Amino acid sequence: MSILKNNDTFAGSYVVRFFIKEGSCAETYRVCDIREQPFFLKIFDLERIPAARLTKGGMPFEVEMCARLEHPSLVACRRTGIESIGDKRYAYLITDYIQGGLLAELLSREHRLPVAQAVELTIRVLEGLSYLHGQAETLIHNDITARNIMYDCVGDALLRPRIIDMGHLSHPVMGRPDFQTSDLELCYRAPETFIGIYSKLSDLFSVGVLLYEMIYGCLPWSCDASKSPSEAREELREARKAGLRFPEKEPEGMTEQLHKVLQRALALIDRDRFGSADEFIGALRGEEVKMPPTKRESAAPPSANGDVTTDGEQRGGEAEGEAPRATFAKGEGNGFADVAGMEELKQLLRAKVINVLQDRERALKYRLAIPNGMLLYGPPGCGKTFIAEKFAEETGFNYTVVKSSDLASIYIHGSQQMIGKLFDEARAKAPTVLCFDEFDALVPSRKESTHASMAGEVNEFLSQLNNCGKKGVFVIATSNRPDMIDPAVLRTGRIDRMIYVPVPDKDARRLLFEINLKDRPTEDVDCAALAERTVNFVASDIAYAVNDAAITAAFANVPISQKILCETLDCMRPSVTEEMLAEYDKLRDKMTGMERRAARTPIGFKRQTH
């Protein structure tokens, strides 16, 4: 059911003309102002937007960014704000109405565009991306497709295109995007996005797909959208293995230069593409196109005074293979005392891992195997990274947390030395705990990835993980997608234990409410009752609920009450759905085997149902 109806007045001076479309947490309308000037209105249900997609001020990331951006190739933002409808608050974004229409609709009618027109349109799109990529904090569109380009026209002349729909806008991502990916069009996605890498270079790949489609009237690689997502993705992956092909009949105006441009733009390995939107534009305007090497071994190593990494940033002034800037801290915090619930898991870690690490003499006396590494996996938001950090504190050893972005050049040559130096430093400071967050982004399966240059980096990880516990280095890794980790990493002697971290049980949820409400003004709050009504809520859901209730209470200048918390929860749903939990049950069976799982007591939270 739409939020607004035709002829409703919105924000005081806009009248709704008609509903356009509905997304997971937003709706789009055509509206007019008092002068009958048309605009697009996008209205956001704040209660349905994930906390990670909200800014510190509580505004959707898309809205706040659009309000700051101004470029002729981007749809112009005219007004943003918060509006109350009934007893709910909505964020909104009002942008120019573009008369021409969607590029996708134009291609559906015309099949393809004249080559010169396609090139000019592509240049304009790239100018908009150059503006986004050049922001002080780089912005990536992540969803460049024909349906997200609108155009103005006067008569028969196609004028400047406008990039629309910033719903997937983000900073560069190395491992786990905070935006929804299920609605992204597969055929426009760069290969590395399937393992969680979103960068300037993945945007440029999408533009390459768009250019090919406008020139030839078809996609460079396609898949059957009616199939399941996994089947369609596999079909696309197989199609891309055949390489880039051009139709036998070339359209009028096609040149060898444009062939080279498309080959470079659609390179399956990110570092073989254009390094920037400006370089892409230069090639379209006739500048020499440097083709990627035909053999991977002939690729030149990165320059010592600056090379383009996966996220497209220039790493000027860093020597080749410079180690990540890891900061080792002494484990002196509260350790497991800060972890709500999970008593069984904590006891297992103390008995099987921490005691052995801390009492090496006894371990040697009884010839106990020195633990090497473990993987915490499970649904997002369940506190795996937090548990890993608290584990490190519990040991009292030196430790550092390494995120996938800390090894941002994992897909270029030279990163093998970076990985080696990280472990060298850990051994020098032993006993040490290395906490690897988003491990699947650091050691993705070599069978699934199209990154030929990645094998050396994964091999380096394998070498460094081999019996590293004997040298005083223990590895604890976290992942939402352990099935995407290279299987060789998960063998005994590298990662010895794989532990599933499920959603919090009732006792853990009660403790999470108590922890999040601590040191805030409260009145008659029953955390046990709150735990009863939040089945399948993860730690991040509870933190968001308490914070949202605190905002409501603060503006009303009253303590946080049970009533305010319950009203907040009534408008929320667990971020981990029942469908996701069912998929994770299957994943757990795959990772541990049904026999091993049935033979031992489950670890961690107990699964509950409504």
pLDDT at 306 over 90: no
**Residues 11, 603: Cα–Cα separation, whole Å:** 52
Average pLDDT of the segment spanning 311-340: 55
Q: Is 363 helix (H, G, I), strand (E, B) or coil?
A: helix
Give the C-alpha distances (Å, rounded to integers) separating 59 from 53, 55, 384, 480. 9, 5, 27, 27
Average pLDDT of the segment spanning 3-20: 91
Instruction: Report pLDDT for 326.
Output: 60
**Residues 510, 206: Cα–Cα separation, whole Å:** 46
pLDDT per residue as tens digits for the range 73-108: 999 999 999 999 888 899 999 999 887 788 998 999
Contact 202, 140 (CB under 8 A): yes
Strand ranges across the sheet with 14-22: 9-10, 14-22, 26-32, 38-45, 88-96, 77-85
The whole-angstrom distance between residue 212's C-alpha and the CA centroid of its chain comes to 27
Q: What is the pTM of this model?
A: 0.53
Give the C-alpha distances (Å, rounded to integers) separating 82 from 51, 75, 133, 164, 488. 17, 20, 28, 21, 51
pLDDT per residue as tens digits for the range 237-295: 999 999 999 998 899 999 999 999 999 999 998 888 998 999 999 999 988 888 765 54
- 221 CB-near residues (< 8 Å, 6+ apart): 187, 236, 239, 240
pLDDT at 59 over 70: yes
Average pLDDT of the segment spanning 387-396: 85
Q: What percent of the chain has pLDDT over 70?
A: 86
Return the higher-pLDDT residue of 263 and 583. 263
Residue 444: is the preceding peptide bond cis (ω within 30°)? no
**Residues 338, 295: Cα–Cα separation, whole Å:** 52
Residue 329's pLDDT band, with cuts at 50, 70 and 90, is low
**Residues 129, 122: Cα–Cα separation, whole Å:** 11
Closest CA to 27 of 85, 67, 72: 85
Q: Which domains does the chain have, with CATH numbers?
A: 8-96 (3.30.200.20), 101-175+184-285 (1.10.510.10), 329-333+347-500 (3.40.50.300), 506-575 (1.10.8.60)
